[in-house]
Amino acid sequence: DGGITQSPKYLFRKEGQNVTLSCEQNLNHDAMYWYRQDPGQGLRLIYYSQIVNDFQKGDIAEGYSVSREKKESFPLTVTSAQKNPTAFYLCASKGNGNSGNTIYFGEGSWLTVV
């Protein structure tokens, strides 16, 4: 099936530890995004990538890093510099203008600091 796959669904991080969230899409979309969602809150943009080997900071990039080595993959690393990482993380992708303007989301990953 076509779509966006995030893994793991649940992840626990110890203090001072880096963790990486995986995001894979087979929609042939150019643009990919990472959002953070806190309980009862809206979506905040962490990083986005318009094309392979290119990515830009969003509104809350501090303490996070990304890479875009392949079109299909956009992993997010939550570093120890992120002091309040407990949240629901959503990966998304969007095609180019010819294939639509809608952003499609994965099922999300829950990250908890223990």
Partner 1 sequence: GESVGLHLPTLSVQEGDNSIINCAYSNSASDYFIWYKQESGKGPQFIIDIRSNMDKRQGQRVTVLLNKTVKHLSLQIAATQPGDSAVYFCAETRAGGYQKVTFGTGTKLQVIP
Binder of partner 1 out of 22, 50, 67, 80 (CB under 8 A): 50
Instruction: Sheet with 4-7: list strands edge to edge.
Output: 4-7, 19-25, 76-78, 64-66
By beta-carbon proximity to partner 1, the closer residue of 17 and 56 is: 56
List the one residue out of 112, 111, 102 whose CA is nearest residue 4: 102
Is residue 69 within the footprint of partner 1 (CB under 8 A)?
Answer: no
Is residue 84 within the footprint of partner 1 (CB under 8 A)?
Answer: no
**Given its phi and psi angles, is residue 98 left (phi above 0), alpha (psi -120 to 50 degrees) or beta?**
alpha
Is residue 38 within the footprint of partner 1 (CB under 8 A)?
Answer: no
Is residue 92 a contact partner of residue 33, using CB atoms and an 8 Å limit? Answer: yes
Binder of partner 1 out of 43, 60, 61, 113 (CB under 8 A): 43
User: Which tokens belong to 111?
Assistant: 């990250």
Binder of partner 1 out of 11, 60, 61, 103 (CB under 8 A): 103
By beta-carbon proximity to partner 1, the closer residue of 2 and 40 is: 40
By beta-carbon proximity to partner 1, the closer residue of 84 and 102 is: 102
